[in-house]
Amino acid sequence: MSIFLQDDYKAFVRDFIASQPRKGRGMSRRIAEHLNIHPAMVSQIFSGSRELTPEQALDLAGFMGLSELEANCFLLLVQIERAGTHRLRETYRQQLRGLQAQAQELKNRLPKDVELNEQARAQFYSGWQYSGVRLASSLAKLNTAQDIAQYLGISPSVAARTLEFLLGTGLCVRHADGHLDIGPKRTHLEATSPLIQQHHRNWRLKALQRMEAEDDTNLYYSGPMSLSRAALGEVRELLIQLLSQVRSKAESSEADALACLNLDLFTFGKN
C-alpha cells in the first residue's frame, strides 16, 4: 500500500483502515475524533461525495504516520479532487507526477556501505527510537510508519519522522514491492566516540522503562562482587567471548522479534 501508486486518496484511506488490527474495526471513529468531526462524516467522505479539507488532509496524514513526502502526495490527491477547474486540476496533477518521480528515485537508490557523516550520526544516537525503528524495519510484518509506531509504542508522527530520516540516510531502504528493510550503511561507534555515552544512556533508560512491564521473558541482573584482579580479567574475557557468540547467533537467525542486550562490567570504589 503505497501512496505514490495511488490516484484516489479515498481508496488509500480505505486500504489503510482495512490493514489495521481487527480489519480496522473502530478506526473510523478514531479518525473522526482526530479530525474533530462527526463519525458519520467519515463515511460521507470516504464512501461518498464529500471531500476532506486541506487542513483535515494534513491532520489525517499525520495520524496515518505518513512521511513528509508521502503527506505532500496525499495532500495533492485531495487538492485534485477539490479543484474547481480543469486547469487547476492539471496543475496539481503535474505537481503530483513530480513527487511520484522523486519518490521512485529515492526508492530505487541503493546507498553504498559507508559511515554516516557527523551530523547524521549525532541525530541517530540522540534517541533510542532511531535504532529501534531501524531494527523494526527488519521484521517482515512491519512495512509502514503506522505498523512500527504500534509495535514500538511510539506516536505515528515520531515513527514517520524517524523513518524518513533513516530512509534518507540509507539506514533503511524501501524495496520496489513496498516492503522495508535495514539498509547497508553502518552505525558502529568507536569506544572513543563522544556519542558513545549517549548511546549507552539511551538503551539503559529504555531498560529501566521495560522493567516496569514485569515481563518474564526479559532478564535483568545486577551482581556486585568482590574478586581478584586476575579473576576480573578472566571474567571480562569470558563476557567478550559470550558477546561474540550472541552477535553471531543473532546475525545468522531470521528476525521476527526485537531485543536489546545491555551488559556492564566496571570497578567501583577507590582502587
Residue 26 amino acid letter: G
The per-residue pLDDT for 121 is: 84
pLDDT digits (tens, 9 = 90+) for 45-63: 998 889 999 999 999 998 8
Task: Say how far apart CA 107 and CA 165 lie, in whole Å.
Answer: 14
pLDDT digits (tens, 9 = 90+) for 179-234: 888 886 566 667 778 888 888 888 898 888 888 877 778 888 888 888 898 888 88
CATH fold for the domain made of 3-108: 434 Repressor (Amino-terminal Domain) (1.10.260)
Report, as an integer, the average pLDDT of 4-14: 89
The per-residue pLDDT for 185 is: 59
Question: Which range, of 11-20, 108-117, 130-139, averages the lowest pLDDT?
Answer: 108-117
Residue ranges covered by each domain of the chain: 3-108
Integer angstrom CA distances of residue 207 from 150, 195, 204? 19, 19, 5
Residue with cell 471531500: 51
Pick the closest to residue 79 from 18, 44, 42, 71 (CA basis): 71
Pick the closest to residue 4 from 186, 176, 232 (CA basis): 176
Q: What is residue 207's DSSP assignment?
A: H
Instruction: Sort strands 172-174 and 180-182 into parallel, antiparallel or unpaired.
Output: antiparallel
pLDDT digits (tens, 9 = 90+) for 15-31: 888 887 777 788 889 99
pLDDT digits (tens, 9 = 90+) for 66-115: 878 888 999 999 999 999 999 999 999 999 999 888 776 544 433 444 46
Residues shown for the chain: 271
Three-state DSSP state, 263: coil
- Extended strands (E) in the chain: 172-174, 180-182
